[in-house]
């Protein structure tokens, strides 16, 4: 592999799945988290994930113990960073905390070691400000669950060099991921911008009672979602014809939401504490005693579609 020893710092929602992906692909993972509970749970979490993935045939049968043997947890960040060829940071989403991490990391590793952030919002140019070698810092933006979702956005900072971009991209491909290069450091990169654009309109429509939440999910899954997953929205446009789509665009551009107010329904849901699964109620109900089943069912669906996608990328 492009990198032999990969240090992961932060073993929460994202870090544990990234560690799993790397170990499954044959990399040696050196893991650290400032919270011992996350270190203690790491092997069990990954072992459970691997069992579910094998059962869902999302991955080939593997020896779980062999995968876990490639993941070593350390009691200090410095020990985890020792011998690292590649570092991935998946710690708290706080610019100051991330800057501190990268500064302390730089003090422990050789100048050629690539240092990647998994930030969802900060430009790596800001995260790497003040470092001696910012040319080896890059953002690899994984999606949750990281061991299932194929795409990783790759966003270089203004000082990131080509070698860092190329080696990181090669490494992600070796992990079985689909790295997608983003050419400018915009807030939200690309995919979160698209997601928010859709959220704005869909929350407005559901909030105004134009369509129910249930029907909106059914409608998108069986039309836009299917087409986007099968060929991608840019090709959907090419197939549909941009002359027609230009006319549709002209009619609708002034009709759809374009302001920066939070949709009323979102404000209401916040006030009522309806935050989704975590509070037992969002647009749908999630009784506490059924939540594990619902999550496992959702993960199985993700895996089944990811498998179809993997095969369709290959042809």
Ligand X SMILES: NC(=O)c1ccc[n+]([C@@H]2O[C@H](COP(=O)([O-])OP(=O)(O)OC[C@H]3O[C@@H](n4cnc5c(N)ncnc54)[C@H](O)[C@@H]3O)[C@@H](O)[C@H]2O)c1
Residues that bind ligand X (CB under 6 A): 9-15, 33-35, 38, 90-93, 97, 101, 118-120, 142-144
- Where do the H-state alpha helices sit in the chain? 13-24, 36-55, 64-69, 77-81, 95-106, 124-127, 162-174, 191-207, 213-221, 224-231, 233-240, 242-252, 264-271, 291-314
CB closer to ligand X out of 90 and 204:
90
Cβ neighbours of residue 239 closer than 8 Å, sequence gap 6 or more: 231
CB of 87 to ligand X, least distance (A): 12
Is the Cβ of residue 92 or residue 262 nearer to ligand X in the bound state?
92
Token readout for 203 is: 């929350």
Rounded Cα gap, residues 141 and 151, in angstroms = 9
Which residue lies nearer to ligand X by CB, 3 or 142? 142
**CB 233 → ligand X: shortest distance, Å?**
21
Of 9 and 23, nearer to ligand X (C-beta) is: 9
Of 97 and 294, nearer to ligand X (C-beta) is 97
Q: How far is CA 237 from the centre of its chain?
A: 26
In angstroms, what CA-CA distances link 280 with 82, 106, 213, 284? 43, 43, 16, 8
Residue with CB nearest ligand X?
A: 12
CB of residue 137 to ligand X, shortest distance in Å? 14
- Name the CA radius of gyration of the chain, rounded: 21
Q: Are strands 71-73 and 28-32 parallel, antiparallel or unpaired?
A: parallel
Minimum gap (Å) between residue 92 Cβ and ligand X = 4
Residue 86 CB, nearest distance to ligand X (Å)? Answer: 16
Nearer to ligand X, 92 or 245 (CB): 92
Residue 98 vs residues 81, 146, 191, 232, 281: alpha-carbon distances, Å: 16, 20, 22, 34, 33
Report the nearest approach of ligand X to the CB of residue 139 (Å).
10
């Amino acid at each position: 592999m492009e990198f032999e020893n990969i240090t992961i710092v932060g073993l929460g929602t994202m870090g544990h799945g990234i560690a799993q992906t790397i170990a499954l692909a044959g990399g040696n993972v050196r893991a650290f988290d400032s919270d011992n509970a996350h270190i203690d749970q790491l092997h069990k979490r990954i072992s459970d994930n691997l069992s579910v993935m094998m059962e869902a045939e999302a991955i080939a049968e593997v020896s779980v113990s062999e995968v876990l043997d490639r993941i070593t947890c350390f009691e200090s960040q410095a020990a985890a960073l020792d011998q690292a060829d590649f570092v991935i940071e998946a710690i708290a989403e706080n610019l100051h905390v991330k800057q501190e991490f990268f500064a302390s990391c730089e003090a422990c590793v050789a100048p050629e070691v690539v240092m990647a952030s998994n930030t969802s919002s900060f430009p790596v140019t800001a995260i790497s400000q003040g470092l001696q070698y910012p040319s080896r810092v890059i953002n690899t933006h994984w999606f949750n669950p990281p061991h299932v979702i194929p795409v990783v956005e790759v966003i270089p900072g203004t000082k990131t060099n080509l070698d860092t971009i190329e080696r990181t991209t090669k490494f992600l491909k070796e992990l079985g991921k689909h790295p997608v290069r983003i050419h400018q450091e915009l807030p939200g990169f690309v995919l979160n911008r698209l997601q928010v654009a859709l959220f704005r309109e869909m929350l407005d429509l559901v909030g105004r009672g134009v369509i129910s939440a249930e029907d909106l999910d059914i409608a998108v899954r069986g039309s836009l979602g299917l087409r986007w997953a099968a060929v991608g929205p840019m090709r959907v446009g090419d197939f549909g014809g941009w002359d027609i789509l230009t006319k549709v665009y002209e009619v609708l551009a002034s009709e759809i939401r374009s302001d920066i107010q939070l949709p009323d329904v979102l404000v209401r849901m916040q006030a009522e504490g309806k935050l989704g699964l975590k509070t037992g109620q969002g647009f749908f109900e999630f009784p506490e005693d059924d939540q594990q089943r619902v999550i496992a069912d959702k993960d199985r669906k993700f895996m089944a579609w990811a498998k179809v996608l993997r095969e369709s990328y290959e042809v």
